[in-house]
Structure 1
Amino acid sequence: MNTAMRSAALLLTLGVGLFAMAGPASAATSVTDISDGTLLAEGVAVEVSFSFTCDKGRNVTSNLMISQRVNAGRIARGFGSNTGGFEPCTGDLQTETVTVIAESSAFKNGTALAIVDLLLCDPGFPGFPGVPDFSSCTNFRSIEEIQLDQVRDA
């Protein structure tokens, strides 16, 4: 791993740690499944779904990072998020589908690492719907190996 990659990983870890210190973790929060990914446009992007639960009454937004070793030590990576911003937690199983755009090299068929980050916050202040109380936010992370593959004909 080169110095730039180590520095980026350290900054990401520290940033997530700050979210985690912002408030108490929710005992009912869990990511139950990260699906295998579907390659789009010959690896320019990958689409991945994941399911999670979180305490009813909180708000959640999600991010997905994908990293994959592609050739000669090169790493394809990308980041995506739900584009709707924060949404209410229902207390039931919720599913998000996120498209991750490759930022360095194209993704390929094979094993990749998927990292789901959920940012959970208490509802905002009266008169400001949709604005969470950021002082209450906590971060939940799930890391899983997944398989990336081309779309298969039915």
Structure 2
Amino acid sequence: MSGLTEQAGLARTVELKGHVIDSLTLSKVIDRVQQLGGDYRLNDIHVGSLKKDISAINLTLLAADANTMNALMEAVAPYGAVAESTDAETIACEQAGALPEEAYRVRLPQKIRWNGQTLSVGQGGDWALAIKNGQAHMISAAQVLPGDLLVRGTHGLDW
């Protein structure tokens, strides 16, 4: 990847569904994005385990400007790429301090090595996206309470 970031340009999340691995669709999409001067970030991937199963890939396309982003979107559309426009899905937490398996998680390190020593990271561990009072927040697993609405999967996330 070229190192292009959302701060340096535009980002658009798209989803590919179908036999995108065995048909080399993902490879073709990545090649086309890079040929046009864009970049990408793979956000989530679900690979079907049987030949009849479909796969789903969520990726963010990155472009330096609107013209490049338009070209990227036009180029990936024939491969079945659909721009995200759905709301985030949520799941209710059932147990305090425990994230449901389906919750979107961010894992931060709990310890680091520095100058030959092991240092604890104060805010390490599992984090999730929670919706509270109409606002989205990152909360640690320890802060999760029964009934909290946690984001499930990557639908509706815009990087």
- TM-score strictly above 0.5: no
Of structures 1 and 2, the one scoring higher in RCO (CA 8 A, sep 6+) is 1
Q: Return the TM-score normalized by structure 1.
A: 0.28
Q: Return the TM-score normalized by structure 2.
A: 0.27
Q: Which has the higher strand share?
A: 1
Higher Rg: 2
Q: Which has the higher helix share?
A: 2
